[in-house]
Amino acid sequence: MIRFGDVCMHGQQTSYDFLVVGAGSAGCVLANRLSASGQHSVGVLEAGGSDWRFWIQVPIGYGKTYYQKAVNWMFETVPQPGLNGGVSYWPRGKVWGGSSSINAMVYIRGHRKDYDDWAAQGNTGWCYEDVLPYFKRSETAQTGDRKYRGKDGPMYVSDVAKDMHPLTKTWIAAGQEIGIEYNPDFNGARQQGIGHYQQTTKNGWRVSAAKAYLHPARKRPNLTITSHAQVTRVLFEGKKAVGVEYLRKGKLEKVYARKEVILSAGAVQSPQLLMLSGVGPRDHLADTGIELVEHNAHVGQHLQDHLGVDFLYKCKVPTLNDELHSAFGKLWAGLKFIFLRKGPCRLSVNQGGGFVRSSPDKDQPDLQLYFSPVSYTRAPAKTRPLMNPDPFSAFLIGYSNCRVKSEGEIRLASKDPLAAPVIDPKYFSHEDDIKLMLEGSKLMRKLAQTEAFKGIISEEIRPGKDFISDEDLIKDIHSYAWTVFHASCTCRMAPDADQGVVDPRLRVHGLENLRVVDASVMPFMVSGNTNGPTVMIGEKGSDLILEDHA
């Protein structure tokens, strides 16, 4: 036996104490926390490569990576009846940092009741008061009450209010005009209200999970990161996970785990890997020709995602369209960023935000709101031209549904591990979801008709004056609604295998030495963006693992 650091080489067999599959939002956290003491060897396998790319690091660059195959899995759903038969495009990060390297950087934790409801389902240790310390441990928040916000964590969360477009103040005034109270911090004592979004940036650069957690740890002798390694299945001895098989540079290789295999491949690929490994619904695996290791009907099921709808308005005052549309405007914005770290390149286009209840009888916000001082009505197919907006002054306001009731599924297309999984979110399969979206569309009109916007808006571009009645707006929702990229719940947490895939300590039911730690373990969706909660899951998951191996 030859020992390199704390990595054992038995002939050509490499083994680590902990083997983490996926260097995404949760996987980067695990890589850092599990290796921090130096007592455990940690191997990380990532299908993508390094995140040191200019358009990853520049905040507005997520428009470039949106269709960039080198860093993006570029998944698509099956046709959705709820979207008039349309296919939904699902970008997912294939790079260090995972989707935190290509997302819009909005930092939201969700509502406290989300987590209290998780615990009420029998998931001990996951109520709001239990998870709050992990949210705080994960972040350095530039602003906020120390009772709720962290001040010395790896993930920097910036308050960029002073950098936002002046129309964001108009957005806030419009909300206040219709009774939505101003909220300076959606991640503090309360979530409800209208305000501006905080984002995961620092000094004008993106702060992904890779930058926050993986890069600071990567030189530790007990941490090994293997890039461009696509895991094809988990290896078992009976019911015990002992390693994984992966493909790298055209060669199939194996690596072993002495203590645990931990899947952090995300809500699409963690269930896919379980099923490729023989863990999942018995009949589906039999139909696919995969030998059963452990039957669990919930693997790949209960898929949830947020959907959004935008309303676009031409206006009488300058917006980011005026700054960015011309070649000179792009050049000037680029120069301001490079030399001063200022201007629109340092921000997400999602600037204003909010959380509201669709009716007074709701016990928590069920609509998330968005304001962007920019519009895109002429985007070529398969582009997201954040730096090439419309050639006229305009902005968009929008919303997404927080409390989703429709559930879809992830299935295998075949037993070929390189085949993309079948993604079927079953959008609007629950009638309450379309009712909630209708309330969201009505709220957009109400905001646009306020005195705050009265002297600014000149025309509604989308959906337009022909969409007036409830029936018209519902028709528009079915034809226009788009994913907000928050897939989750496909390996959901539950006390037993009759209800979910992993237990409250994130161990896969019925198996040994195998956990799932990522957004797929959410019992149901959080109310808001999922990156912050996924980082929290990585933080708490790392403690659970270390406690079990103390």
The residues annotated with a catalytic role in the active site are: 486
Terminal-to-terminal C-alpha distance of the chain: 25
Here the tokens at position 328 are 């000179």
Which of 229, 207, 187 is closest to 14 using CA atoms? Answer: 229
Burial of 94 (0-12, 13-18, 19+ CB in 10 A): buried
Amino acid at 44: V
Which of 496, 471, 89 is closest to 268 using CA atoms? Answer: 89
Q: Name 279's bridge partners.
A: 294
Sign of CA dihedral 317, 318, 321, 325: positive
C-alpha torsion angle, residues 2, 4, 7, 13 (rounded to 10): -40
| Helices 167-177 and 431-448, axial angle in degrees (round to 10) | 110
Contact 311, 159 (CB under 8 A): no
Q: How many residues does the chain have?
A: 550
Which region, left, alpha or beta, applies to residue 172 given φ > 0 means left and ψ of -120 to 50 means alpha? alpha
Specify the residue for token string 């962007």.
Answer: 372
Pairing of strands 13-21, 422-424: unpaired
Q: Name 140's bridge partners.
A: 151, 156
C-alpha torsion angle, residues 479, 401, 308, 464 (rounded to 10): 60
Rounded distance between C-alpha atoms, residue 449 and residue 408, angstroms: 36
Residue 377 makes CB contacts below 8 A (sequence gap 6+) with 312, 390, 394, 461, 462
Q: Which DSSP helix (H) or strand (E) runs through 339?
A: helix 327-340
Which of 125, 199, 79, 123 is closest to 524 using CA atoms? Answer: 123
CA distances from 390 to 59, 169, 235, 337, 465 (A): 20, 22, 52, 22, 20
Q: Which DSSP helix (H) or strand (E) runs through 242?
A: strand 240-248
